[in-house]
Structure 1
Amino acid sequence: MDSSFPTRKPIEQNVGLGVVTGLLPAIRRQPLDMILILGVIGGAFIGVCLAEAVLLLAKAVAEDLLTRVGVPDVLIQLLFDVIAGALVLGVFALSPVFMIWMERKVSGRMQSRLGPMEVGGWHGWLQTIADGVKLFLKEDIIPRDADALLHRLAPVIVVLASFLCFLVVPFGNRLIAQDLNIGLLYILAISSVTVIGIVTAGWGSNNKYALLGGMRSAAQLVSYEIPRGLSVLGVIMIAGTLQMGQIVEKQAFVPFIILQPLGFLLFLISS
């Protein structure tokens, strides 16, 4: 057997490692990996701060130039809204890439799989690209007795509901698509629409087992909405507002995660 080929670790070494060991290996075993992960997180934070400063400067310069040229204020605001929407779309499109990579790392470590751990040489970073290529090459098969319209509409409803939640999320100072005065309530309401997409998928398949599975998933999501709604009450009481921009500004000195650690854990689990 070629010694250069990576071998599987015994399953008993990987079963029960959990999420923490999947994402952040123990310092005793992999100190360099921990340093690299912390460096990436720190670099991302610095990059976000620099990007925010550059965007604010570019917005101020562009606004001044457009005003001097004589462009109406309505068109200027429309232009900035389009740019903000493009930024939201970019974040929404790229975030699943990293989330799926982390999820595959956790499951790969627990299941003793080589792909998510070794592909690409550094922590299996090519696994996400391979998954993306696989998804693009997959054929969209509609069951013979299924409702074609509902079959195609169901995933659109789920993705659209998730995307619309980002419209009220502030990415920086005045970097927000729509700062609604009921932004937090808007997020809770729009996120509930995903239940409709799941039920539609089960119903549109014209299969009783798929319908039962969709109803089960919908019941789970509805049950999670109650603790999720209760967990944000503490945030509303502290901030005194439902507006996302003001909620972020209220955390300039003390983050609410310090004041409401149990509420954060409850929201994280239920979401």
Structure 2
Amino acid sequence: MRVLVIPDCHLKPWMFEDATAIMNSEKADNTVCLMDIPDDFGKDDPDLYEKAYDAAIRFADRFPQSLWCYGNHDLSYVWNKPETGFNPTVRILVRKKLEELKRTLSSPSQIAYIHKIDKTLFMHGGLSDFFVHRWVTQSGQKAIGKAIKEINKMGGGLMWDSASPIWYRPQFAPDNDASRLFRGGKYLQVVGHTPVKDVILEGGVLSCDTFSTYRDGTPYGSMAFCIVDTDTWQFETVPTK
């Protein structure tokens, strides 16, 4: 399956407009959003938060089979765990919009920590072998579907940890070796969370967060989307207009 990856948004509602154009071009069969829809350096305007989530909701309405992976910034409002850029004045708004987004989709299960399509795993941060062997039951570890199911049921206690799938940064692991990943080498992990200059495949991880910015708003990365083949792991980048 060809999947369009929408990486970390951080109050850029126009990303969903560009993603809609890509989907309408039929270059991809489905799309996965890695979320982190709220928060950005020095941007506290509640209207911008509303616009960003409303753009996401319109996209979900247009593509009700789309998949969404919770980011740490989204969940910081759900669990009231302040993160960098956390804006307490919009906590109720963010929680309300997340529920609206969930209702817009064909199934609530389409928003989760991890989604698996063919031989590819999608999540905000990354899935380490360490996290699975520490927190997933032994029976759950035997089948990747069972492991993901257990993880997707976990709450803020385990998820608000640097090793969890919403926080883990596999790009920073020693030697960037795929053996540190859960089922590394057998499954590709497609992630955001860690800003990169360009979409890059290294050590079994496809890093896609090219839309992050410096504190002054200057783009850090190429601001290109990615379309990945979930079976062959081949990918192409799609520049924004």
Higher helix share: 1
Scaled by the length of structure 1, the TM-score of the pair is: 0.23
Could you say which structure has the greater relative contact order, defined with CA pairs below 8 angstroms and 6 or more residues apart? 2
| Structure with more strand by fraction | 2
| Bigger Rg, structure 1 or 2 | 1
